[in-house]
Amino acid sequence: MFDKIIQENRFKTQCVIILYVAIFIVIGLLVDIVRINASSLLGGFYALLTFQQLPIVTLCLLLVACGIVYYAISHFKGILLNGNEYKEIVKGFEETSQERELSRILEELVREACLDFRPKLYLMEAPFMNAFASGWSAHNSLIALTTTLVRNLKRDEIKAVMAHELSHIRHEDIRLTLVVGVLSNIMLLVVNYGVYMFLGNSRERGANTARNILMILQFVLPLLTLVLQMFLSRSREYMADSGAAYLMGDSMPMIRALQKISGSYAQSDFSEVDTNPTRSALYIVGFKEIFSTHPSIENRIKALLGK
């Protein structure tokens, strides 16, 4: 079962990367068409793709995107934990009984799942109940729990949350989410700035058409990336919930944890408290939003109950 899920997520990751690279190239070419003041849109594409005209913006965009993706992969821990105080709980170097208990829970899950890796475990100071997992691969992955979550959940519920996050790592969807999050933000930034590059009314029809397409993309791309993130995130949450229930041998601890976390969010909206938007799509429960990347708690509980 897990091999099939991993293969599917690897395929999704490859498709998403190819899609985003293709969009990046198209955006870069459109800006280049404006830059060279092409007389026709198709003629501009042909000249740039055959290097009759050097696609300077496109090449620079790809280099910058590759650099940012590489930086995000290399520094994902600092990026995601930034904005809050946090502490790594290292096996054998725990300082409190709470840290020792969390370390034991993770060790139990690693042993019960027969894994050949142990994610790094972080306790993050935050006034809200939540958790997330991230990383490029299983062997450099991490699981982060907020202090409020640890204080308010029972042991089996904390274990279920950690099993949920461990399932994300086992399914290799942490890589998919990392790539989508980084590339989406870069792409939207480039489109917004691309519209204002080389301002002025071009005399040539091709350049004007390219600028108009970029203006349309300013409104279309945010919706496209949102739909893509919602599709990927919602399917991954259902899989991780099922993975947690499978590891625990019981779906009730996961259900109780989801109910307590969502109940806390129902009483207070913490979206303005969390100053780091890069991890919002990674949380086990999303903030209250009209277009949430997470499925509803009711639907997740129904799925766990087999309804």
Measure Cα distances from 200 to 81, 97, 232, 267 in Å: 42, 65, 40, 51
| Residue in the structure block whose two tokens are 């303005």 | 272
| Residue in the structure block whose two tokens are 């969009």 | 23
pLDDT tens track for 213-242: 888 888 888 888 777 777 766 778 888 898
At residue 289, the 3 state secondary structure works out as: coil
Amino acid at 117: F
User: pLDDT at position 49, please?
Assistant: 93
Which segments of the chain have a pLDDT < 50?
290-291
User: pLDDT at position 268, please?
Assistant: 74
pTM: 0.82
The radius of gyration computed from the CA coordinates of the chain, to the nearest angstrom, equals 22
Closest CA to 31 of 166, 250, 214: 214
User: pLDDT at position 153, please?
Assistant: 96
Helix 2-36 / helix 173-196 crossing angle, nearest 10 deg:
10
| Dist. CA 48–CA 41, nearest whole Å | 11
Contact 257, 145 (CB under 8 A): no
Catalytic annotation, pick one of 99, 157, 165, 237: 165
Active site residue 88: no
